Amino acid sequence: MNSPAALRRPLPVSSPTPIKSPQTPKPSERQLPLTNSSASKLPCKLNHRNWWSKTSTACATEFSSRLRSERILPIRASSSNGSRSISSSSGGEFRQPTAVEFITSERVKVVAMLALALALCNADRVVMSVAIVPLSLSHGWRQSFAGVVQSSFLWGYLISPIAGGTLVDLYGGKVVMAWGVTLWSLATFLTPWAAENSLCALLAMRMLLGIAEGVALPCMNNMIARWFPQTERSRAVGLAMAGFQLGSAIGLTLSPILMSQGGLYGPFVIFGLSGFLWVLVWISATSSTPDKCHQISAYELQYIQNDGNMQSVIKDKSKKSKVIPPFKRLLSKLPTWTLIVANAMHSWGFFVILSWMPIYFKTIYHVDLRQAAWFSAVPWSMMAVAGYFAGVLSDMMIQRGISVTLTRKIMQSIGFIGPGIALVGLTMARSPSNASAWLTLAVGLKAFSHCGFLVNLQEIAPQYSGVLHGISNTAGTFAAIVGTVGAGYFVELVGSFKGFLLLTAFLYFSAALFWNFFATGGRVNFDETL
């Protein structure tokens, strides 16, 4: 029982809990504004008097659920050491960008610059495919020796891909690409001087061109892996390689015109100067990674970084950036050999068509040089269009639940079996227009390979994508040398292109079979051997 004294004792009074005022965000952090549509749906009004009340808790809960239903995540951006990082307040799915947002995004600007670089890359190399005809006439070269002059580009191209891919993995695509374009533009610009002085100087300039251009595709792969989530990489590769194929069309169509206006060496000077201009824009307007780009929006940065695979690529590269690539372990896996075989076959067909089609139309169908360039350029334009269509189709298949492995096998099968059948049809063509139609079909379907082995490099070993590209590209270059030089000797011995085209078709079918047996779209563990 309580005594009267206890009842008269004053009760202890606790000190009032101070009410904390809302904290002002730090200068290094800023909360992104809410959308008007979402704010208008709040069940209560938030202001400085009642925002900390119990009602505001329910209000915030409903607002968060509405954000999740609309797939819009509130995100916070912070800056440190010149880079930006984005973290979402919840682990929900980030909404897909609209078509307008995709076209106007910073990552599309980056891939557009890559497409321009690859266009210059191919234009510089195909100029010789047109110039070789008047050069052969003026110097008295046979067809076999003309093939040697054209293949001198590939001698340099054989040297650089592995070293270039390793440099890309270490220093990133932006720096290596800038140096590559500078060197190959210099080689193109100096080709007229070399041709006027000596044959050795001409071969040296073509070799320098090949050495510098050997880093182009590894740089492209590196930049796309850093700037695009996996669900957009196929179309990004399609856009970049569209520039690559349009470079062939531009070089083959403009070279005769520039030669007629500025002499035999006019195209070399124009394309060389264009490369120097590209380097200035590339250095000033692009960033190696999205978090270092000052123009990128917070939404786009969050969308790119939301891809867990991209985050793991950066983490793996930071751990192994100073380690020599494990060549023995890379070559011990069958998926690596599927890339090597696919790249070798792709390069064989690509360079044979690229180097010999102007001469093919001139010798087989007796068309002049300008028409020969035109007939050869039309297929490359189709390849640019088909490549982007294949990229969009490939991304849609993955987004709709088809496995990455099956998607890559379907794309690569179309890219090899289709051209093989078309080349068989080319051997039976009776007119230049029919031959151009078959050639256009062959080259257009060949673009589906870009959504096969070319994207697969990033998937089986993202931390080694550069050096893997270099290894497979070296094999492809060796195959291209054999095909380019072999075509010249084959024509001299047999007297016809038909047998060589049939041999190429057979190799296409064999490579497609090997790919479908051993290729994979999953990540391969290169930390242990078979």
| Statement to judge: residues 227 and 350 lie in one domain | no
Measuring CA to CA, which residue among 351, 342, 381 is closest to residue 488?
A: 351
In a 13 Å sphere around the CA of 440, the CA atoms on its Cβ side amount to 15
Of 265, 293, 320, which closes a domain? 320
| Statement to judge: residues 304 and 339 lie in one domain | no
- Whether 399 shows a pLDDT value over 70: the answer reads yes
Of 268, 300, 320, which closes a domain? 320
**Which pLDDT tens digit goes with each residue over 253-298?**
888 888 888 777 888 889 999 999 999 999 988 888 888 888 888 8
Is residue 459 within 8 A of residue 404, CB to CB? The reply is: yes
User: Can you tell me the distance from the alpha carbon of 109 to that of 103, in angstroms, rounded to the nearest whole number?
Assistant: 8
| Statement to judge: residues 406 and 386 lie in one domain | yes
| Statement to judge: residues 239 and 314 lie in one domain | yes
| Residue with more model confidence, 11 or 174 | 174
Q: pTM of the entire structure?
A: 0.66
| Residue with more model confidence, 45 or 101 | 101
The residue to which tokens 């690229």 are assigned: 354
Instruction: Copy the structure tokens of residue 240.
Output: 């970049």
Helix H or strand E segment including 454 = helix 453-460
| Statement to judge: residues 346 and 312 lie in one domain | no
| Statement to judge: residues 137 and 267 lie in one domain | yes
| Statement to judge: residues 387 and 309 lie in one domain | no
For the ranges 4-13, 87-96, 184-193, the one whose mean pLDDT is highest: 184-193
| Residue with more model confidence, 93 or 252 | 252
Does the residue 61 lie in any domain? no
| Statement to judge: residues 309 and 331 lie in one domain | no
Identify the band that residue 441 occupies on the pLDDT scale cut at 50, 70 and 90: very high
Does the residue 269 lie in any domain? yes
Q: What is the pLDDT of residue 40?
A: 42
Of 292, 320, 348, which closes a domain? 320
> Residue 221 is part of which domain span?
99-320
Total structural domains within the chain: 2
Does the residue 360 lie in any domain? yes
Q: What is the pLDDT of residue 116?
A: 93
| Statement to judge: residues 428 and 467 lie in one domain | yes
Quickly list DSSP for 257-306: HHHHHH-TTHHHHHHHHHHHHHHHHHHHH--SSGGG-SS--HHHHHHHHT
| Statement to judge: residues 314 and 350 lie in one domain | no
371-385, 476-490, 491-505: least confident range: 371-385
User: Can you tell me the distance from the alpha carbon of 124 to that of 251, in angstroms, rounded to the nearest whole number?
Assistant: 7
- Whether 185 shows a pLDDT value over 60: the answer reads yes
Does the residue 524 lie in any domain? yes
Identify the band that residue 77 occupies on the pLDDT scale cut at 50, 70 and 90: very low
| Statement to judge: residues 501 and 413 lie in one domain | yes
| Statement to judge: residues 345 and 301 lie in one domain | no
Give the CATH number for residue 421. Answer: 1.20.1250.20
User: Can you tell me the distance from the alpha carbon of 495 to that of 505, in angstroms, rounded to the nearest whole number?
Assistant: 19
- Whether 323 shows a pLDDT value over 50: the answer reads yes
User: Can you tell me the distance from the alpha carbon of 363 to that of 490, in angstroms, rounded to the nearest whole number?
Assistant: 15
Does the residue 422 lie in any domain? yes
User: Can you tell me the distance from the alpha carbon of 11 to that of 474, in angstroms, rounded to the nearest whole number?
Assistant: 88
CA distance from start to end of the chain: 83
Does the residue 235 lie in any domain? yes
Does the residue 80 lie in any domain? no
Is residue 126 within 8 A of residue 251, CB to CB? The reply is: yes
User: Can you tell me the distance from the alpha carbon of 475 to that of 250, in angstroms, rounded to the nearest whole number?
Assistant: 27
Q: What is the pLDDT of residue 72?
A: 37
Which residues, other chains included, contact 425 with Cβ-Cβ below 8 Å and sequence gap of 6+? 438, 441
Does the residue 511 lie in any domain? yes
62-76, 278-292, 458-472: least confident range: 62-76
- The overall average pLDDT reported for the chain is 76
The alpha helices in 321-452, defined as continuous H runs, are 327-330, 334-364, 369-399, 404-426, 432-446
In the predicted model, what is the mean pLDDT of residues 52-76?
42
The SS3 call for residue 505 is: helix
